[in-house]
Structure 1
Amino acid sequence: MTRDERGGGADAVGPVDDATLALLLEVAGTPKPGNVDRRRDLDDLRFEAFLGGAVGARSGLELAAGSGIDAADPPAIGEAFERAVAGMADRAGTNTQFGCLLLLVPLVRATADPDRELSPAGLDAVCRATTVDDAVAFYRAFEAVDVAVDDPPPGAAGLDVRRGSDAEPALREREMALRDVLALSAESGGSAETGSGTATDSVDPDRVPDRNAAEWTEGFPRTFRAAEWILTDEGPLTDRAARAFLGLLAAEPDTLVASTRGAETAREASGRARAVLEPGGGDPAGPIGDVSAVDADDVHDADLEAAESLAEAFVAEGVNPGTTADLTCAALFVALRRGAEVAP
């Protein structure tokens, strides 16, 4: 049952409230191997920084929802994302939830837009409606924080996000909307099409694609699948989130781990998560391969006590599956909008 079906929910608890709560629940879930949670800090990142980031991002999320603004002419999605990141960075003092916000902003927009809905089709429509101005704002957001990213695909050096606003001429010359930019990162091999229709050179087929970018181009399949796991699970939402995190990591290698430690380490990390999810079953050497192949019962039965040792090992080894945490946050938002409650 959704908030609307329970009566008055959309008025009493809006999408911005649920997005903020999703940010807080994600970091409070434990164990999420290799990530900050309520029991673990990293050397350079503390739990409370994420709480500050969630509060600071709110003004950008409100912009995404069109709060207090003419709903018929809401602010651009890129502007909303840029403001959310700037607020996060200002309050947290660092990058805590950049990837979460990249997913939450279109989710909030789809929820708040009377012409859209919180569904794969609704999200696809929101993402396809983005513009070159949205892409420029997205690039400017990188100037507020330090984000770990791979080098751009061959032939796309001018579109390196680390250039920030300096990339604007290249974006406008190639007529790259925000979805076009993210499509480049989502590609795992072959050719990546630019907004002007010019193909770049081949991309390394062994690289781990950007899972957050893939959500933008595929209709958020990981987000909606993990939301189903959370909704059909039992117990505290923070425990459900931790189990969903394990399911997502077991399914596919984490983008942040691949960027910071290499693709092989990322695949090994997924295999280790799978060994926790499916003790004694299957080949733990690598990921399952697709989020749709993960059995919901395996997620619901995941042993969080067994995951504690993996969490300690990942922290000690510097394996930080941050992109998986982003997807977990997005899934929590969808679950909250569809009726999940923090109350017993």
Structure 2
Amino acid sequence: MVDAAQVGRAFVAACEAELAAPKPGNVHIYADGHGMEARHFIDSAQAAAPHLCAEGASVGRRIFAAIEATWARVHCNTNLGIILLCAPLAHAAQRSGPGGLREKLGATLAALDRDDADLAFRAIALASPAGLGASAEHDVRAPAMVGLGEAMALAAPRDRVAHQYVTGYADIFELGQETIARARARGDDGPMTTLRLFMAFASRFPDSHIARKFGVDAARFVMERMAETASRLETIDERDAAFALALEFDRVLKKIEYNPGTSADLTVAALFADSLLSILPNVHKNG
């Protein structure tokens, strides 16, 4: 079990680390984009952290309160996917009892109920993410009729954030942690590790944010271009050269307004999990 202050610091640090790399198509400290700048995301993380990490709060309560605080601070949707991913991780880290982060997360996800779904639905409606339409079944603008786990299972085939809820965060604990470990082993610093982590997600999955806004074909197109860029980055060890390549692709994506936001959300969650794995007491790094 980790105290709220530690979890909050780890969350804000993960959000800041994600902004320190020139992730193609996203907002970062090297370039604004999509009507937002890095400061909006830092302010959002700081506003959300106390609610995301509130002792004793349910996952749903953490999600809604964090999004409500974010909206009050920046008046736009900067972090819905981040909060949906990180709230269960924070809750799991604060669970008492034996087990590593992944085991505790499994227990957190298994206990999600209709109240969690109702609060998460309210948060999603408040954030009003791009591409959010009406649904004939389990519309987020109506009271929840199923638990949050069931709702996420229904959304999982089309949304990579929801997919984490039904796979025990497999992408985060497997691809994410493996990519972080591999980058560190080759001597990459923090921002370069983050860039490789983002590219790992963006090059393997059609980005859900792009798919909602522009369609699945556009998401697959970006994924293919990401794979080409990731392959080139694998041959580069010098950070300035790697960042120059990433920024070149960044300008292309922003010109056509393609924002792989879900890949960035997964990046924050993987960085957050990495920090939690390092601070959970008496638990080895493999969770």
TM-score range, shorter chain: 0.7 to 0.9
Matched, 1:329 2:278: no
- Shift of the 305–339 alpha-carbon distance from structure 1 to 2, 3 Å rule, reads farther
Return the TM-score normalized by structure 1: 0.73
Match of 1:181 in 2: 151
Distance 2:8 2:58 in 1: 16
Distance 2:198 2:261 in 1: 10
Matched, 1:107 2:89: yes
Distance 1:331 1:56 in 2: 20
- Residues 128-176 of structure 1, C-alpha deviations (whole Å, 9 max, x = no match): 2011011111111134322124546xxx514222x2xxx11xx33xxx0
Out of 73, 79, 85, the residue aligned to residue 97 of structure 1 is 79
Match of 2:258 in 1: 319
Matched, 1:274 2:227: yes
Distance 1:19 1:117 in 2: 21
Secondary structure at the residue paired with 1:147?
Answer: coil
Percent of aligned positions that are identical: 28
- Structure 1: state its 5+ residue gaps: 5-9, 67-73, 188-208, 280-296
The answer to which structure has the higher helix fraction is 2
Out of 265, 270, 281, the residue aligned to residue 218 of structure 2 is 265
- Shift of the 15–277 alpha-carbon distance from structure 1 to 2, 3 Å rule, reads same
Matched, 1:246 2:199: yes
Match of 1:217 in 2: 166
Residue 298 of structure 1: how far off its partner (Å): 4.2
- Shift of the 109–118 alpha-carbon distance from structure 1 to 2, 3 Å rule, reads farther
- Which one-letter code corresponds to 1:62 in the other structure? C
- Shift of the 299–253 alpha-carbon distance from structure 1 to 2, 3 Å rule, reads farther
Match of 1:141 in 2: 123
Does the CA-based 8 Å contact 2:43-2:74 persist in structure 1? yes
Secondary structure at the residue paired with 1:14?
Answer: helix
Distance 1:82 1:116 in 2: 28
- Which one-letter code corresponds to 2:159 in the other structure? D
Distance 1:107 1:300 in 2: 33
- Which one-letter code corresponds to 1:27 in the other structure? L
- Shift of the 54–117 alpha-carbon distance from structure 1 to 2, 3 Å rule, reads farther
Residue 24 of structure 1: how far off its partner (Å): 1.6
- Structure 2: state its 5+ residue gaps: 280-287
Match of 1:16 in 2: 8
Return the TM-score normalized by structure 2: 0.87
Does the CA-based 8 Å contact 1:23-1:54 persist in structure 2? yes
Distance 1:12 1:180 in 2: 28
Residue 53 of structure 1: how far off its partner (Å): 0.3
Residue 89 of structure 1: how far off its partner (Å): 1.4
Does the CA-based 8 Å contact 1:230-1:237 persist in structure 2? no
- Residues 184-229 of structure 1, C-alpha deviations (whole Å, 9 max, x = no match): 1103xxxxxxxxxxxxxxxxxxxxx200000011011111121232
Distance 1:333 1:300 in 2: 26
- Shift of the 223–336 alpha-carbon distance from structure 1 to 2, 3 Å rule, reads same
Does the CA-based 8 Å contact 1:100-1:327 persist in structure 2? yes
Identify which of structures 1 and 2 has the higher relative contact order when contacts are C-alpha pairs closer than 8 Å and 6+ apart. 2
Does the CA-based 8 Å contact 1:124-1:218 persist in structure 2? no
Distance 1:300 1:337 in 2: 29
Structure whose CA Rg is larger: 1
Residue 99 of structure 1: how far off its partner (Å): 0.4
Match of 1:287 in 2: none
Residue 118 of structure 1: how far off its partner (Å): 4.7
Does the CA-based 8 Å contact 2:64-2:122 persist in structure 1? yes
Match of 1:256 in 2: 209
Does the CA-based 8 Å contact 1:59-1:87 persist in structure 2? no
Distance 2:200 2:188 in 1: 17
Q: How many residues align?
A: 272
Distance 1:78 1:117 in 2: 23
Distance 1:271 1:53 in 2: 31
Residues 133-172 of structure 1 mapped to structure 2, 5 A cutoff: 133-151=115-133, 157-161=136-140, 163=141, 167-168=142-143, 171-172=144-145
Distance 1:257 1:212 in 2: 13
Distance 1:14 1:300 in 2: 35
Distance 2:235 2:163 in 1: 22
Matched, 1:36 2:27: yes
Residues 55-94 of structure 1 mapped to structure 2, 5 A cutoff: 55-63=46-54, 66=55, 74-94=56-76
Match of 2:182 in 1: 232
